[in-house]
């Protein structure tokens, strides 16, 4: 019997539970508060305290082991051996920290933008934080699934209530896509339990399931994760959701939500279904390359800044999945680092777009051209994060993409060769946007809207007055994020060090591959459906009966 509540943390108290439930408690308190200012201040206070509390995760983490740390365990639903189990290792640690540090910025970025239904907004945001940290910290599959799905509701509300003109369409599409992806995940979760008799994630690993079983479980997991990432054919919900969501929603989506898919691949697919990963890795590697190129090309054609960044996310996340399915040290290091980098950089870019939108009420590049003359500080930050986004040396993304590329070259030179144009595309579309926004002629919306020549002067004046530069709040947010751009860009060692052991362990687990079907499609079919197999498939099918 497990004890009612076991805590084996590196600190003297159940730190992860505090991190998971503090925002929820904050949300409950927020229900009783009155006044928009108070509510926003309360949300900011809660998220800042949360971020401060999460610091011991970093300082007390022991990077010399791959084991889960800050462990907590309690019986939850004894009938099904479902446990409340939390813990982090080198893979999830940085993602938890990313979440706790991005959330205060989400509150800040909504300071002026959100004016209606502030209470509901604050409550949704805080519940969202609980669910996100829960996803990264859960060590029980059912607990993970509960947080994973519970996240949909507040995110749906964030888009549906505070979103742009097509918010209804975007929010329902988001909900339907992600839910449809994850319902089969539930079936796979139950199937794993029936096979292994536990929902505990560490116990589910290294079980040596039969190939056929791994194959189906992997497909169910992969569908859910590929939609969340999103990988190429499953990405269509993302631009819609990004464009319509309010700034805070876009930041959460880009910085944290997309990482859940890639985190899922790393946490579940590699250690639990290694044989299926080994067998299907080429599909996902080339799928990632397609994502990188497709995202890049489509971003090239965008006129809406948010859409451009959304499609660039598809490309960037392609790098992450590429790194994961390389299943080598460099590739996975790069992909985890890239998850963090994308969270920082793309989050910052969405904040930048939000700042501009609050001034010009347009997200079109055309309407925002030549703001450089009026907002020098703003464009400095925009330029910095754009350079980071295109992986300029010295910035964070450079390190991540380089590691992934090194991993790719180690594995498959042809594959790596196809990735290079993706990096070039990123430079093209980011610089194109940057050039238009900073230096292009003042031709933007006052021409477009006023038409008349006489009004040009006054319109220019109005333009100038509207385009005041960053205030302290906005500059603070961006400055905070730019610290990380340089920190990771110039000194990635400490970040790589925490994940080192965990990655090595995952790779060992992922290499425990045996019983792969041979003989192409026929071999696969014979393994998956032994009943249909003819004489040739018998010996392949035989080891599958356990």
- Interface positions with other proteins (CB under 8 A): 75-80, 142, 145-147, 149-150, 152-153, 156-157, 160-161, 167-168, 171-172, 175-176, 179-180, 183-184, 186-187, 190-191, 193-194
Measured from the CB of residue 194, what is the shortest distance to other proteins in angstroms?
A: 6
Residue found under tokens 């502030």? 118
Closest of 345, 346, 358 to residue 471, by C-alpha: 358
Query: In terms of Cα–Cα distance, which of 130, 126, 351, 97 is closest to 248?
Result: 351
Please, are residues 262 and 321 in contact by the beta-carbon 8 Å criterion?
yes
Q: Return the number of the residue (122 or 390) whose C-beta is nearest other proteins.
A: 122
Tokens of 254: 């880009």
Burial of 64 (0-12, 13-18, 19+ CB in 10 A): exposed
Question: What are the distances in angstroms from CA 22 to CA 127, 251, 527, 534?
Answer: 10, 21, 48, 59
And the tokens for 498? 């925490």
DSSP state of 233: G
Q: How far is CA 546 from CA 213, 400, 543, in A?
A: 11, 42, 7
Minimal distance, residue 542 CB to other proteins, in Å? 21
Q: Which is closer to other proteins, CB of 149 or CB of 203?
A: 149
The residue among 145 and 429 lying less far from other proteins, judged by its C-beta, is 145
Is 12 or 165 the residue whose CB approaches other proteins more closely? Answer: 165
Tell me how far, at minimum, the Cβ of 415 lies from other proteins, in Å. 34
Q: How far is the CB of 128 from other proteins (least distance, A)?
A: 14
Residue 180 CB, nearest approach to other proteins (Å): 4
- Chain centroid, CA 431 distance in Å: 24
> Measuring CA to CA, which residue among 157, 167, 93 is closest to residue 125?
157
Please state, in angstroms and rounded to a whole number, the distance separating the CA atoms of residues 357 and 359: 5
Least distance from C-beta 167 to other proteins, angstroms?
A: 7
Nearer to other proteins, 137 or 470 (CB): 137
Smallest gap from Cβ 359 to other proteins, in A, equals: 24
Give me the residue label for tokens 């920290």.
Answer: 97
Please identify, using beta-carbon distances, which residue of 25 and 183 lies nearer to other proteins: 183
Q: Indicate the residue among 176 and 532 with the shorter CB distance to other proteins.
A: 176
Give dist(CA 220, CA 203) in Å, integer.
Answer: 19
Q: Which of 107, 108, 145 is nearest to 126 (CA)?
A: 107
CB of 39 to other proteins, least distance (A): 15
Q: Which is nearer to other proteins, 144 or 495 (CB)?
A: 144
Distance in Å, CB of 173 to other proteins, minimum = 11
Tokens representing 507 are: 């790779």
Closest CB to other proteins among residues 45, 168: 168
CB of 145 to other proteins, least distance (A): 7
Which residues are CB-contacts of 473 (< 8 A; sequence separation ≥ 6)?
A: 108, 111
Q: How far apart are CA 109 and CA 112, in angstroms?
A: 7
In this structure, the number of other CB atoms found within 10 A of the CB of residue 515 comes to 15
Closer by beta carbon to other proteins, 76 or else 111? 76
């Amino acid at each position: 019997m497990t004890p009612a509540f076991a805590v084996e943390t590196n600190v003297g108290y159940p730190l992860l539970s505090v991190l998971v439930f503090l925002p929820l408690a904050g949300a409950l308190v927020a229900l009783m508060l009155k006044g928009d200012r108070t509510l926003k201040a309360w949300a900011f206070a809660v998220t800042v305290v949360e971020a401060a509390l999460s610091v011991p995760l970093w300082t007390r983490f022991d990077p010399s082991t791959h084991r889960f740390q800050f462990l907590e365990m309690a019986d939850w639903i004894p009938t099904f051996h479902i446990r409340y189990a939390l813990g982090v290792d080198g893979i999830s640690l940085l993602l938890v920290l990313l979440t706790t540090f991005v959330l205060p910025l989400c509150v800040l970025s909504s300071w002026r933008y959100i004016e209606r239904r502030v209470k509901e907004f604050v409550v949704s945001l805080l519940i969202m934080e609980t669910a996100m940290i829960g996803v990264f910290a859960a060590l029980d599959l059912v607990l993970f699934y509960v947080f994973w799905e519970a996240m949909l509701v507040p995110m749906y509300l964030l888009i549906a209530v505070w979103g742009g003109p097509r918010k209804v369409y975007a929010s329902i599409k988001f909900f339907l896509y992600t839910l449809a992806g994850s319902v089969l995940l539930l079936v796979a979760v139950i199937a794993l339990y029936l096979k292994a008799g536990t929902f505990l994630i560490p116990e589910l690993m290294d079980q040596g399931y039969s190939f056929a079983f791994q194959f189906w479980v992997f497909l169910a997991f992969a569908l859910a994760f590929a939609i969340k990432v999103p990988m190429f054919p499953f990405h269509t919900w993302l631009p819609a959701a990004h464009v319509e969501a309010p700034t805070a929603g876009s930041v959460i989506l880009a910085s944290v939500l997309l990482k859940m898919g890639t985190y899922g691949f790393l946490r579940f697919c590699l250690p639990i279904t290694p044989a299926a990963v080994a067998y299907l890795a080429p599909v996902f590697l080339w799928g990632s390359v397609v994502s990188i190129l497709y995202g890049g090309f489509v971003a090239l054609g965008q006129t809406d800044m948010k859409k451009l960044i959304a499609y660039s996310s598809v490309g960037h996340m392609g790098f992450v999945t590429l790194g994961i399915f390389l299943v080598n040290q460099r590739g996975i290091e790069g992909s985890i680092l890239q998850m963090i980098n994308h969270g920082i950089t793309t989050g910052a870019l969405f904040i930048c777009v939000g700042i501009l939108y609050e001034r010009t009420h347009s997200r079109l590049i055309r309407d925002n051209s030549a703001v450089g003359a009026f907002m020098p500080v703003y464009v400095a930050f925009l330029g910095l994060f754009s350079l980071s986004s295109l992986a300029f040396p010295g910035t964070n993304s450079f390190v991540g993409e380089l590691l992934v590329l090194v991993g790719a070259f180690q594995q498959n030179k042809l594959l790596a060769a196809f990735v290079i144009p993706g990096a070039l595309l990123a430079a093209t579309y980011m610089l194109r946007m940057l050039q238009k926004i900073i230096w292009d002629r003042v031709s933007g919306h006052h021409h477009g809207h006023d038409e008349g020549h006489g009004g040009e002067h006054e319109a220019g004046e109005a333009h100038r007055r509207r385009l005041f530069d960053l205030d302290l709040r906005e500059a603070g947010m961006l400055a905070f994020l730019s610290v990380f751009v340089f920190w990771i860009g110039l000194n990635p060692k400490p970040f790589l060090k925490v994940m080192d052991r965990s990655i090595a362990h995952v790779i060992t687990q992922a290499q425990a591959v045996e019983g792969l079907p041979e003989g192409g499609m026929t071999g696969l079919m014979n393994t998956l459906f032994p009943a249909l197999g003819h004489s040739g498939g018998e010996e392949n099918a035989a080891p599958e009966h356990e």
